[in-house]
Amino acid sequence: MGNLQAGIDYKLHPDVVPHPNQKSKWDPNYGFESPRKEKVMIATEEEMHSAKIALEDRDFCAHHLIDYKKCYHDKFPFVNRCHHEKHVYLNCRYAEFVDTIKDYERERRLMERQKRIAASS
Amino acid sequence: MALLKPSLLFSLARRSIASSQTLSHWNKDWKPGAYPKTEEERIAAAKKYNLLPQEYKPIPNDAAYPAGDYPDLKPYSADGRDPHYPWDYPEYRRNFNEAVPEEFNLYGFDRINVEEKLRYPMWKMLLGFVCIAGGIVVLCDLSEDTFFMPAMPRHMPAPGVTYYHYPSSSSDQH
């Protein structure tokens, strides 16, 4: 997954490679043609509390996890009948992960662009 | 019937069990005597412990645990004694009737060796430890931020924080 390459790039070129924890220096809508759509949290705090969702799982996919756990509880022990719910949940988590990679790549490209503009001016 | 008197039977049995005539075969018989005050008492105590009078020195009477006339011997360990000498008791490396230090039970093969000689001096061992442990610390310090996913932190909903979808991203369809 390029873990080591990212680390080497960060060590060699810290001016154009972002740290994985750094805050974005640009407006979230900067560079987009139309304003981006905000992410909406569907599951409420009470639902997640009553479904005993772990704190690290209370992300934007929590409502899919609640569905999956509910199905698991209803169909037990024939839990293979919940394959659809599980698939939906894992796909949601994957899309969320891809979004974090896009955040990193956007930050890196904006830093490179900033450096390029500063060099040409 | 006088032969069957209990005291006589007891002394007969004791004589048959004990091979020597001194009849000192019970713990109260091995108890040290009183602290020697006169020169005669010193010589008598030294003879009792099979020591020469000039090398006999009793444990001080004002010590934390006074021990009467017991000699104050320098502790030695069985590990530190000559393994090739024909000891009377090889398992203790001790000779018959040899005076032993007061805490003899602490210095056997199964206990500490007070005369142990280290293979390497203590400063060398400490230096080796500091070099290896410090080297690991330095390596960990140098390798910080050299191995990570090229990804920003997860989007976790929190009050006052807004996250956005990317255009035509699959996260928009969930």
* Residue B21 pLDDT exceeds 60: no
What residues have CB less than 8 Å from A19, skipping those under 6 apart?
A10, B145
Q: Does A100 touch chain B (CB under 8 A)?
A: yes
* Residue B15 pLDDT exceeds 80: no
Inter-chain CB proximity A99 and B169 less than 8 Å:
yes
pTM of the complete model: 0.64
- Tell me the β-bridge partners of B89: B94
Residue A24: its chain B contacts at CB < 8 A?
A: 152
Tell me the per-residue pLDDT of A61-81, one tens digit each, with 9 for 90 and over: 999 999 999 999 999 999 999
Q: Give the distance from residue A3's alpha carbon to the nearest chain B alpha carbon, in angstroms.
A: 5
Contact A36, B165 (CB under 8 A): yes
* Residue B151 pLDDT exceeds 80: yes
* Mean pLDDT value of segment B16-31: 64
In chain A, which residues have pLDDT < 50? none
Identify how many contiguous H helices and E strands chain B contains and give both numbers. Answer: 4, 0
Inter-chain CB proximity B152 and A107 less than 8 Å:
yes
Q: Give the distance from residue A8's alpha carbon to the nearest chain B alpha carbon, in angstroms.
A: 6
**Global ipTM:** 0.87
